[in-house]
Amino acid sequence: MTDAIRAEGLVKEFKGKRALDGIDLTARTGAVLGVLGPNGSGKTTTVRILSTLLRPDAGHAIVGGFDVLREPHEVRRQIGLTGQYAAVDAELTGTQNLVLIARLLGFDRTQARARSGELLERFGLADAGGRPAKTYSGGMRRRLDLAASLVGRPGLLYLDEPTTGLDPHSRNGLWEVVRGLVNDGVTVLLTTQYLEEADHLADDIMVLDHGRVITQGTPEELKNRAGDQVLELRTVDGGQLSLAAKIVEAVTSAPVNSDGLVASVPVEDSAVLPEVVRRLDEQGVAVSELSLRKPSLDEVFLALTGHTAQATTSDDEGARG
């Protein structure tokens, strides 16, 4: 199998601030690479370099077999880009938006209309094709934007935070569409700040923070890498939770995190479970829920970066300067 994207040592500075600090990246053909990170971590800058919109200060990248710096036109023939903002003309109808792109890509009038109709149908916009895009809901606009990036049937699709700002229903709809594209053999590079999204869609995940790759692997590997399992418990009487936490702490000798309802603690060996249960029973703590689970990607992110994914230092806007 060949790689759809192979980038090495990408560096980009904006006004002295380092947005990318030496990023290596590989996207397998036919797979979904999830680039995960908080605002300002360099996700958008990475996508803009790989889609030829931005020149890196150092490093190089091969996309679809072509060099982004030396053969940008060839790269553009391979890719589709859906940016953070729905980049459609609000005044134009859905059909007009798609026909315009198709005509630019060399379709004749008839082909362009046919392709536009096909895409509107596929993205559930067939009835809205004649209406200006400004009358669309947020989810519909994103779908039209995605359709626009697929007019030329690209083999590689960049999705830069495709679901930011969407309601859960629209988000699920978009996830379905992305899965469908992957089934058609499209390679997808997806950036997201939602760990859940990467977990759902990505075959491989790369975690970015402050312009560096913190870690990468499959979602499963990442969860394993945070190592431990998490023991979670609730007590019937909330007042007993702190007592329960002390007991668990004594057994696991790891700090217990309690939010007042649930106490959770990473454990290295599941053999501690019987011991925890025995001691809780001895102390007369009535447990309503006790479980052992893999850590969520949120917990993985916290463990790897020392801060949560939601903590915002600055935003990716600098990349647009």
Interface ranges with another protein (CB under 8 A): 1-3, 6, 26, 28, 48, 51-54, 62, 64-66, 73, 76-81, 83-89, 91-92, 96, 100-107, 115, 132, 148-149, 151-156, 319-321
Q: How far is the CB of 86 from another protein (least distance, A)?
A: 8
Pick between residue 30 and residue 296 the one whose CB is nearest to another protein: 30
HSE-up (13 A, CA, CB side) for residue 114: 5
Nearest of 85, 90, 99, 87 to residue 133 by alpha carbon: 90
**Gap between the Cα atoms of 144 and 139, Å rounded:** 9
Beta bridge partners of 265: 231
Least distance between another protein and beta carbon 317 (Å): 11
Compare residues 161 and 209 and give the one whose CB is closer to another protein: 161
The Cα 274–Cα 232 span in angstroms is 14
Q: What are phi and psi of 130, to 5 degrees?
A: -90, 0
CB nearer to another protein: pick between 49 and 265: 49
Specify whether the CB–CB gap between 277 and 231 falls below 8 A. Answer: no
Give 278's contacts (C-beta < 8 A, 6+ positions apart).
none
Least Cβ distance, residue 286 to another protein (angstroms): 50
- Whether 248 contacts 257, CB under 8 Å: no
How many Cα atoms sit within 13 Å of 25 on the Cβ side? 36
Please say which residue, 145 or 199, places its beta carbon nearer to another protein: 145
In whole angstroms, the minimum distance from the beta carbon of 79 to another protein comes to: 6
Length of the chain: 321
Residue number with CB closer to another protein (101 or 309): 101
Residue with tokens 């680039």: 35
C-beta of 157 vs 267, nearer to another protein? 157
Q: Supply the angle between the helices 241-252 and 272-282 in degrees, to the nearest 10.
A: 140
**Cβ closest to another protein, residue 96 vs residue 257:** 96
CB of 21 to another protein, least distance (A): 19
Alpha-carbon dihedral sign for residues 192, 193, 199, 205: positive
Our CB check for another protein shows the closer of 87 and 182 to be: 87
Q: How near is the Cβ of 135 to another protein at its closest, in Å? A: 11
Pairing status of strand 3-14 against strand 257-258:
unpaired
Cβ 224 to another protein shortest distance, Å:
18
Q: Which helix (H) or strand (E) holds 169?
A: helix 168-183
Nearest distance, CB of residue 65 and another protein, angstroms: 4
